Amino acid sequence: MRYIVILLLFVGFSAKAQQVTMHCGYDFTSYLVIDAHESGKTENIKNLKVTVVDSLGRDVINVGNMYSWSRANEPLKFKQNYAIGDDNQPLPAGTKLTGKERWFFPYAKDNYVLSVANTFPADRFSLKIEDVDGKENGGQFKTVIQPLYSYNMYVLCSNESQQAAIKFGRKMNKPIDVVLEKK
């Protein structure tokens, strides 16, 4: 009988220990998501150059993967989220979506996304949104510099009690809304 009680206690403690150390696919990673559009319109403006800059307006370099787990020693530059097919390959640009496809980063639609480490000090940096591509937009939009805040990050591996604790103020995991003006 004593062995059964010890076995039950061991299984109970083991299950509790496994519950505490449970991981998710986005451990140590957060995302910044930008919704860049014109005033009064909902569709995102394509082919913008969106980068993270410091207080002097210089591009922030990801030295030794300090800020992001990808693209070491390169500027922190956003990419347009893209749809993928059933084979997990990107769909060609201009493909009409039928509903069976899904987005590469599933928490954003056709927004701009950047993967950053959970330790990314967002409050120290800003976003710089430029229309530099001469093909799509013709450089018709003004450059915008907008400060970043820690609540702008999509923290995906939080538990429900952490999310429930945030009752006041801006809710997390919402795209950064950037309204661009024409020159």
User: Beta 176-180 vs 29-38: how paired, if at all?
Assistant: parallel
The answer to the question of residue 173 being in a domain is yes
The answer to the question of residue 35 being in a domain is yes
Three-class secondary structure assignment of the chain: CHHHHHHHHHHHHHHHHHHHCCCCCCCCEEEEEEEEEECCCCCCCCCCEEEEECCCCCECECHHHCCCCCCCCCECECEECCEECCCCCECCCCCCCCCCCEECCCCCCCCEEEEEECCCCHHHCEEEEECCCCCCCCCCECCEEEECCHHHEEECCCCHHHHHHCCCCCCCCCCEEEEECEC
Number of independent structural domains in the chain: 1
Distance CA 80, CA 3 (A): 59
The answer to the question of residue 58 being in a domain is yes
The answer to the question of residue 139 being in a domain is yes
CATH of the domain at 60: 2.60.40
Range(s) of the domain holding residue 44: 24-180
pTM (2 decimals)? 0.73
Least confident range of 42-51, 107-116, 130-139: 130-139
The answer to the question of residue 1 being in a domain is no
Instruction: Quick: pLDDT tens for 68-114.
Output: 888 889 999 999 888 887 777 787 776 766 667 777 777 778 899 99
The answer to the question of residue 80 being in a domain is yes
The answer to the question of residue 82 being in a domain is yes
The answer to the question of residue 34 being in a domain is yes
